[in-house]
């Protein structure tokens, strides 16, 4: 382990240093927060030792004594296993947290799982925030993520300086509201990826250069971050994952299920979910979600 320099900042535990978590953790360290780090693949965490992070062998070691626990694991089930479930004869790792600590889940998970996590921790005097992010790998790297926070107003204010090291924070309501905002975000993203992919395929099959059509649309009413970033990926066929298709599918499924609980029918959302399901069944689940273009380009491939 590499010791950090003395700091008056709150102590942070960062759990999950994958595609998004790694650059987010880097910003936290750069801001001077004493940080303990755990990742399922130790190699991905070891890179932070040279930056002053303390790399830990277990989740319990990482979160012990933390004022804030930042969690960036891929699914609610993974968070349950890593943080909330007992291992052998030991208690769940989160039971090691001191009263007054704050757990901040920045992963995209269901609203129901968020509420369950919050209730469990509240009974132990530990606060909880759901603070999922949007902006992809680029936003994580540049520290410009959109962070949708749900939780008690005072707790969110307490966590805001830490979260602002990674992007722009907006409290959207109580616990669960952050995840609901993320589902709204992912519905827009998933549907728009499909729209951009189909439009560029139409341009190509009609005899126009899709790259030039995309360039012509920039600044117009059809412009969007999806057209700019993912439209570029599509015309270049560059689909290294920034946000994997399987995670987009997971979010669309959660959004559809939550809408059903509210008695709402969302046909465009359902269609987008079906298309991403087909994409993943075609073996493209590990590619960037913009690779939906490939599936639509060759529907029988």
Instruction: Name the residues annotated as catalytic.
Output: 182
Nearest to 105 by CA among 159, 184, 141, 36: 159
CB atoms within 10 A of CB 112: 15
Q: Is the dihedral of CA 156, 160, 165, 171 positive or negative?
A: positive
CB 37 within 8 A of CB 52: no
* Residue 192 in tokens: 């728009």
At residue 201, φ and ψ (nearest 5 deg) are: -65, -40
Q: Specify which residues 13 forms β-bridges with.
A: 36, 69
* Residue 144 in tokens: 């410009």
CB 63 within 8 A of CB 93: yes
Question: What's the CA gap between 60 and 176, in Å, rounded?
Answer: 25
Question: What's the CA gap between 202 and 234, in Å, rounded?
Answer: 13
CB 9 within 8 A of CB 32: yes
* Residue 227 in tokens: 């057209």
Helices (H), the chain: 21-30, 42-46, 59-63, 76-79, 111-122, 136-142, 153-163, 177-205, 210-217, 225, 231-236, 245-261, 267-279, 292-297
Nearest to 262 by CA among 189, 180, 207: 180
């Amino acid at each position: 382990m590499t010791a950090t320099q003395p700091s008056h900042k709150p102590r942070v535990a960062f759990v999950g240093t994958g595609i998004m978590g790694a650059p987010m953790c880097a910003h936290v360290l750069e801001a001077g927060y004493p940080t303990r780090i755990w990742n399922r693949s130790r190699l991905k965490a070891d890179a932070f030792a040279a930056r002053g992070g303390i790399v830990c062998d277990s989740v319990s070691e990482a979160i012990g004594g933390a004022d804030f626990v930042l969690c960036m694991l891929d699914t609610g089930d993974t968070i349950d296993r890593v943080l909330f479930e007992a291992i052998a004869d030991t208690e769940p790792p989160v039971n090691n947290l001191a009263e007054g600590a704050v757990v901040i889940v920045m992963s995209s998970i269901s609203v129901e799982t968020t509420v369950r996590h919050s209730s469990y921790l509240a009974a132990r005097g530990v606060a909880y925030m759901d603070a999922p992010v949007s902006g992809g790998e680029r936003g994580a790297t540049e520290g410009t993520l959109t962070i949708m926070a749900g939780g008690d107003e005072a707790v969110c204010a307490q966590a805001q300086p830490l979260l602002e090291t990674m992007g722009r924070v907006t409290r959207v309501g109580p616990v669960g509201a952050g995840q609901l905002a993320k589902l709204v975000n992912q519905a827009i993203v998933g549907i728009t990826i499909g729209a951009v992919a189909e439009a560029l395929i139409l341009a190509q099959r009609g005899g126009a250069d899709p790259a030039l059509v995309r360039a012509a649309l920039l600044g117009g009413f059809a412009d969007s971050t999806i057209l700019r970033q993912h439209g570029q990926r599509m015309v270049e066929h560059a689909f290294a994952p920034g946000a994997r298709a399987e995670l987009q599918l997971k979010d669309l499924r959660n959004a559809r299920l939550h809408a059903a609980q509210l008695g709402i029918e969302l046909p465009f959302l359902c269609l987008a979910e079906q298309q991403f399901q087909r994409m993943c069944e075609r073996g493209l689940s590990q590619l960037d979600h913009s690779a939906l273009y490939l599936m639509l380009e060759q529907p029988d491939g």
